[in-house]
Chain A
Amino acid sequence: QKEVEQNSGPLSVPEGAIASLNCTYSDRVSQSFFWYRQYSGKSPELIMSIYSNGDKEDGRFTAQLNKASQYVSLLIRDSQPSDSATYLCAVYGNNRLAFGKGNQVVVIP
C-alpha cells in the first residue's frame, strides 16, 4: 500500500461548482496533513493544513480529516478558472513528508 494515495483521475468541474478531492494514507501515526496546489511548470504552494479530526475552512477551501479512516479531503467551493491546477495531498509522520501523485482539476468557464 502506498504511503499517500490519490486515486481519482482528472476532475472537470463547471465554474461555480464544488470540486471534491480525496486522499488516503497508510501510516496511523501520521501527525499533520496538507494540501498543495501546483500550477504547470511551477513549484507547489501550500493552501491548507489540518492537524485534528473534523473540518477546517479557509475562504473557498475546506479540508476534512478523519484519522480513524485515514482519510483527508479537500473541497473547493465556487470553483474559478484560476483553480485549474494539480492538487497534491501531503502527510507528515516519522520525521518525513510524503506526497500523493496529485489530482488535476480543470474548471470549465
Chain B
Amino acid sequence: DGGITQSPKYLFRKEGQNVTLSCEQNLNHDAMYWYRQDPGQGLRLIYYSQIVNDFQKGDIAEGYSVSREKKESFPLTVTSAQKNPTAFYLCATSGRGGENTEAFFGQGTRLTVV
C-alpha cells in the first residue's frame, strides 16, 4: 500500500516526558515535513528535510528534535522542553523542485499532555 503512515494516532504524554512520533513513507519522496496544528489554526512548520542526513528548523522548532537517517523515515521527538505540546501533529512528504513539490499528508497524531 502506497502512502504516508503516522503512528500512533493518539498519544498521551506525562509532564516531563519525551515522546517520539513516527512518520514513514513509501512514495520515494525526498522531502519530508512536520507541522503542528492547534484548534482553529493553520499549520505551523516545525522541521523539514530535503535529503537524508539533513534537516532544517522551521518556525517553531524549540522543544522538538528530528532525525533523517533513512529516506523513508522522519521521526519527531517532542521533548520535555516543549511546554505546550498538546496539538495535532502532521507529517507531509513531497518531491523536490517544480511540479514535484505537491505535498501529501499522513493521517496525523493527536498528542495530549495528561
Count how many chain B residues have C-beta atoms less than 8 Å from C-beta atoms of the other chain: 26
Please measure, in the bound complex, the distance between the C-alpha atom of A97 and the C-alpha atom of B92, giving whole angstroms: 10
Q: Mark A32-69, 1 if CB is under 8 A from B, else 0.
A: 10100000001111100101000000000000000000
Count of CB-CB pairs between chains A and B under 8 Å:
61
Give the dominant DSSP class at A's interface. Answer: strand
Would B99 and A51 count as touching, CB distance under 8 A? yes
Q: Is the CB of A32 within 8 A of B106?
A: no
Q: Is B43 within 8 A of A34, CB to CB?
A: no
What's the least CB distance linking A4 to chain B, in Å?
Answer: 8
CB-defined contacts of B58 to chain A, threshold 8 Å: 96
Chain B window 26-47, contacts with chain A (Cβ cutoff 8 Å), 1 for yes, 0 for no = 0000010101000001111100
Take A43-B90, A43-B107, A43-B108 as given contacts and tell me if A99 and B42 are in contact as well, using a CB distance cutoff of 8 Å.
Answer: yes
Any A CB within 8 A of the CB of B103? yes
Indicate if the CB atoms of A101 and B102 lie closer than 8 Å.
no
Assess the B35–A92 pair: CB atoms within 8 A. no
* 16 CB < 8 A contacts A-B: A32-B101, A34-B102, A42-B108, A43-B90, A44-B43, A44-B90, A46-B103, A92-B103, A95-B31, A95-B96, A96-B33, A97-B92, A98-B45, A99-B35, A99-B43, A99-B44
Binding site for A on B (CB under 8 A): 31, 33, 35, 41-45, 48, 50, 56, 58, 90, 92, 94, 96, 98-99, 101-108
